[in-house]
A and B are shown apart, each in its own frame.
Chain A
Amino acid sequence: MSVYINRSLCNGCGALKESRCSEVCPGDLLYKDIENKCAVRDPWDCWDCASCIKECPRQAIEIRLPVQLGGRGSALKAKSIGGRIIWRLTKPDGSEEIFDIVTINE
C-alpha cells in the first residue's frame, strides 16, 4: 500500500456524491466511508499512478514507497492549479523539495 489519506484534512469533497479521488482512481480503490471521508480498499491493488493525490483539492493524500520496496518515509503530495502541478517531496530527514511544472499549455 502506498496511498495515505490524512483524515483530518479529507472532507470527502463535501456534498459531492463521489469524492474527486474516488472518481478518477483507475482501480476504483477509493470510496467515501460512513464518516464522509475517503478510505482505500484492496490497497495491494494500487498502481501508484498518483492520480488521487493530483485530484485532491485539500492535499489530504500522499504517496510513499511500500516498505517492501525500501520505503523509508519519503512522501509526495501534489497540487494542481490551472495547467500547473506543484509537487512537494518530503524526505526522510524532514527536508522538502518543491517542483513546479507546467503540464498544460493554454
Chain B
Amino acid sequence: MIETGAEGTRECVEKLRSEVKIVRVNVDIVIVGGGTAGCFAAVSAKEASPNTSVLVIEKAHIKRSGCLASGVNAINAYLNPGETPQSYLEYVKRDSAGLVREDLVLTIGQRLNRVTEKLESWGLPFIKDEFGRYKARGKRNVEIVGEAIKPIIAKAVEESGVTVLNRTAATNYIVKDGRVAGVFAFSAREKTFYIISSKAVICASGGAAGIYRPNNGSSARHKMWYCPFNVGTGLAMGLRAGAEMTTFEMRFIALRIKDVISPTGTVAQGASARQINALGEAYQKRYENNSTPVRTYAVVEENKAGRGPCYLDFTHLPESENRRLKEAYLNMSPGMVLKWADEETEPNGKAVEVCTSEPYIVGGHGQAGYWVDEYRESTVKGLFAAGDVAGGAPKKYVTGCFAEGEIAAQTALEYIKMIKTNSETEVCGDENLDRELARVFGPLYRTAGANPDEYEDRLQKIMDEYAGGISTNYELCEPKLIAARKMLVLLQQDVERRLMARDLHELVKAHEVIDRILVARVLVEHLLYRKETRWRSYQERADYPGRDDQQWFKFVNSVYDSSKDLIKIIERPGKAGVLS
C-alpha cells in the first residue's frame, strides 16, 4: 500500500509501472466519446477518407452510450417546408436573448436536413404525412420512432471501419509542443493505461450532469433529464490543456414531467397540451415571452407566487391517442408509461404535473462548451470539438450534433495532412507518463479518505445552495458565489489528497467527480462575471436582475492555467463569428 500523499513519489511510480499494463496505440484521428456527435464524426471521417485510421474511445459501450441510450421520439432540429438555415438562426437567436455564435448556428442549419436523411438511410423509422414527407411536430421538429436510434448509429460506426475502444475512460490530452497529440485513457475492465498518440483529436464527450443536486434524491438520484454518465470529462480535459471555453453561465434547466423527469415536448407539441397552473390559468401569457428559458422561469415564478403546481393538460385527447402517446414515451422515456400504470390512469385521464430540473452544463440545449471557430477547431492546435461539449450554438439537438461531428471530421482530415507521423514515445515522455499514471491510479492506492459518492454529494450541496440550484430557485448572487468559489477550492484540494477508489468501477467514478469539480469551479467564475440577467432561470442574478445589452452583449470566456491553478476570464465581442 502507498500512503496518502505519496502519489508521484519514485516508489509509487515504480509500483504503478509494475502493476498497470501500459498499452501504446497510434492512429490518425482519435474521437473522445462515442455518443451522438462522436459517432457521426467517426463515420464522416471514415467515409471521406477510408485510409485514415479513426479510433473512438468510449467510457461505456457505443450501442447504448450518451444521451440517446433510451431513444428519442422526435428530431428537434429539422427544417420543415418554409424553414431555412437563416430562419433557424433567427429562431435560435430569439430564443437565446440574441447572444449566439451566428456562424456556428448557421453552419449547423445548412446541414440539418442532409444529416437527418442520412439517419433515415441507416434504418431509423420516420413517421410520414399524407404526402410522404416527414411528419412535422412543429416548424423545426419531425416525429420518429427512435427507440433504436443509438444501436442504429453504432451499427453505422461498426460498418464504417472505425475502431472502437469501449469501456475506456479518457483522462487527459497529450500536449506536445503546443499541439494536442493524443489522449491518455484507462480501462474500466482491467488495470490498463492507454497512451494513444494521434495527429488530431475530436472531443465529443458531451456536457456535464451531476454538478448540481438533482430533483430526486437517494435511490432515484439519477432519474434525470441528461445522461448522468456525461460528467464534463472533455470540458475538464480541455481546461487542463488550456483550451478556451465559452458561456458556461448559460446553464440549461429542463422543463420535465414531475418525478419521472420525462419529456414535455412529446405532449406539449405532439399533443397540443395546455400549460396551466393550479388555478387552471394559462399562466405563460403572464410572462415576457415564450422562449425556452422563460417557460422554465414561468413555472418557478408560478410556484413562488403560490399558484403551483403547474401542469400540462391534454385531457382533451380522444381515447384513440392514448396508445400512440404511450408508444411515444416507450421510445424515449419508458418511466412515464410506468407512472401512468402506477397511477391507474390513461394518458388523457388527468393533467400531468411539470417540474424544472437541476441545471446542466451543455452545449446542445444551452451554449456552454469549447470556444471553436466555424470549422469546430478549438483554441488549441489539433483539437476539435462537436456536440454538447462545443459551445456557442444552443438548440442543436441530435441533428445539430451530427452536423458538428461532420464539420469537425472534415476539418480534422484537412489538418492531419500537415502533420507528420510521430511515434508514440515521441509524443509522451516518461515524465509525462509517470505524472498521469500517478494522477489516474492514485485513488486506488490510498488508505485513508472518502469515496467518490461522498465528494459528489459535497459538490452538489455546494452548487445547489450557493450557486443557484433548485433549492434557491436558481437565483444567484455575488456573496454566495464567492462562498462557493472558496468551498470548491477546498473540495478540490481534499479530493486530490483523499479521494479513494476500491476498484476500477469506483476509479471511473473518482475521475468523474474530479472532472466535475473543475467544471463547477469554472462555472462559478462565469456566473460571477456576468453582472446582468440574460437568460431567465438559467442565469438569474438576484443582484443584477435586468438584461443589459449595452454592457453585456458579449461572450464570457475562460482559460484555465493548470500550472498555477488559475481561471482567467476573457471577454469576446457579441458579434464574434457573425458571417458577413
Q: Is B341 an interface residue (CB 8 A)?
A: yes
Chain A residue with minimal CB distance to B342?
A: A72
Report the Cα distance A25→B145, complex, angstroms: 22
Chain A residue with minimal CB distance to B323?
A: A99
- Assess the B228–A68 pair: CB atoms within 8 A: no
- Assess the A89–B341 pair: CB atoms within 8 A: yes
Report the Cα distance A83→B148, complex, angstroms: 9
Least distance between A40 CB and chain B CB atoms (Å): 12
Q: Flag the segment in B1-9, B96-104, B327-335, B571-579 that touches A.
A: B327-335
- Assess the A76–B222 pair: CB atoms within 8 A: no
Least distance between B348 CB and chain A CB atoms (Å): 15
Instruction: List A residues 41-73 near B (Cβ within 8 Å).
Output: 41-51, 55, 63-73
- Assess the A1–B330 pair: CB atoms within 8 A: no
Report the Cα distance A91→B70, complex, angstroms: 21
Report the Cα distance A69→B343, complex, angstroms: 11
Least distance between B75 CB and chain A CB atoms (Å): 15
Least distance between B529 CB and chain A CB atoms (Å): 33
Report the Cα distance A72→B259, complex, angstroms: 14
Q: List chain B residues, Cβ under 8 A from A4.
A: none
Report the Cα distance A54→B379, complex, angstroms: 42
Q: How many residues of B contact A (CB 8 A)?
A: 49
Q: List chain A residues, Cβ under 8 A from B69.
A: 26, 47, 49, 51
- Assess the A69–B259 pair: CB atoms within 8 A: yes
Report the Cα distance A87→B220, complex, angstroms: 23
Least distance between A25 CB and chain B CB atoms (Å): 7
Report the Cα distance A25→B219, complex, angstroms: 18
- Assess the A26–B64 pair: CB atoms within 8 A: yes
Instruction: List A residues 67-86 near B (Cβ within 8 Å).
Output: 67-76, 83, 85
- Assess the B330–A99 pair: CB atoms within 8 A: yes
Report the Cα distance A97→B322, complex, angstroms: 12
A interface residue count range (under 10 / 10 to 19 / 20 to 34 / 35 or more): 35 or more
Least distance between A80 CB and chain B CB atoms (Å): 8
Q: List chain A residues, Cβ under 8 A from B123.
A: 83, 104-106
- Assess the A44–B218 pair: CB atoms within 8 A: yes
Least distance between A46 CB and chain B CB atoms (Å): 6
Q: List chain B residues, Cβ under 8 A from A74.
A: 338, 341-342
Q: List chain B residues, Cβ under 8 A from A102.
A: 125, 145
Q: List chain B residues, Cβ under 8 A from A24.
A: 60-61, 63-64
- Assess the A47–B221 pair: CB atoms within 8 A: no
Q: List chain B residues, Cβ under 8 A from A2.
A: 220, 223, 335
Q: Is A9 an interface residue (CB 8 A)?
A: no
Report the Cα distance A70→B546, complex, angstroms: 40
With A24-B63, A26-B64, A28-B60 given, is the CB distance from A44 to B338 under 8 Å?
no
Of A23, A50, A67, A83, the residue contacting B334 (CB under 8 A) is A50
Report the Cα distance A93→B342, complex, angstroms: 10
Report the Cα distance A92→B148, complex, angstroms: 28
Q: List chain B residues, Cβ under 8 A from A75.
A: 338
Chain A residue with minimal CB distance to B333?
A: A48
Q: Is A8 an interface residue (CB 8 A)?
A: no
With A24-B63, A27-B222 given, is the CB distance from A45 to B228 under 8 Å?
yes
Q: List chain A residues, Cβ under 8 A from B70.
A: 47-51
Report the Cα distance A92→B345, complex, angstroms: 11
- Assess the A70–B343 pair: CB atoms within 8 A: yes
- Assess the B228–A66 pair: CB atoms within 8 A: no
Q: Is B17 an interface residue (CB 8 A)?
A: no
Chain B residue with minimal CB distance to A26?
A: B60
- Assess the B222–A45 pair: CB atoms within 8 A: yes
Per-position binary interface string of chain B over residues 51-95, scored 1 when its CB falls under 8 Å from any chain A CB and 0 otherwise: 000000000110111100110000000000000000000000000
- Assess the A91–B344 pair: CB atoms within 8 A: yes
- Assess the A92–B222 pair: CB atoms within 8 A: no
With A44-B219, A47-B229 given, is the CB distance from A99 to B326 under 8 Å?
yes
Per-position binary interface string of chain A over residues 9-45, scored 1 when its CB falls under 8 Å from any chain B CB and 0 otherwise: 0000000000000011111100000000000011111
Chain A residue with minimal CB distance to B68?
A: A49
- Assess the B330–A101 pair: CB atoms within 8 A: yes
- Assess the A104–B339 pair: CB atoms within 8 A: no
Q: List chain A residues, Cβ under 8 A from B342.
A: 65, 70-74, 92
Least distance between B572 CB and chain A CB atoms (Å): 35
- Assess the A104–B148 pair: CB atoms within 8 A: yes
- Assess the A76–B167 pair: CB atoms within 8 A: no
- Assess the B167–A47 pair: CB atoms within 8 A: no
Report the Cα distance A85→B220, complex, angstroms: 26
Q: Is B260 an interface residue (CB 8 A)?
A: yes
Q: Is B147 an interface residue (CB 8 A)?
A: yes
Q: List chain B residues, Cβ under 8 A from A25.
A: 60-61, 64
Least distance between B445 CB and chain A CB atoms (Å): 21
Q: List chain A residues, Cβ under 8 A from B312.
A: none
- Assess the A68–B220 pair: CB atoms within 8 A: yes
Report the Cα distance A101→B28, complex, angstroms: 40
Least distance between B320 CB and chain A CB atoms (Å): 15
Per-position binary interface string of chain B over residues 166-199, scored 1 when its CB falls under 8 Å from any chain A CB and 0 otherwise: 0100000000000000000000100000000000
Report the Cα distance A92→B344, complex, angstroms: 8
With A65-B338, A105-B125 given, is the CB distance from A23 to B61 under 8 Å?
yes
- Assess the A28–B222 pair: CB atoms within 8 A: no
Q: Is B508 an interface residue (CB 8 A)?
A: yes
- Assess the A46–B222 pair: CB atoms within 8 A: yes
Chain B residue with minimal CB distance to A95?
A: B341
- Assess the A47–B224 pair: CB atoms within 8 A: yes
Q: List chain A residues, Cβ under 8 A from B220.
A: 2, 44, 66, 68-69
Beyond A91-B341, A104-B124, list 10 extra A-B contacts (CB 8 Å).
Answer: A41-B505, A42-B453, A44-B222, A45-B221, A47-B70, A49-B70, A65-B260, A69-B335, A92-B342, A93-B344
Can you spell out 9 A-B residue pairs with CB atoms less than 8 angstroms apart? A26-B65, A44-B218, A69-B260, A85-B148, A89-B341, A91-B344, A93-B344, A97-B326, A104-B123
- When A and B form their complex, which 6 residue pairs have the shortest distance between CB atoms, in order from nearest? A74-B341, A103-B148, A51-B64, A49-B70, A49-B69, A69-B259
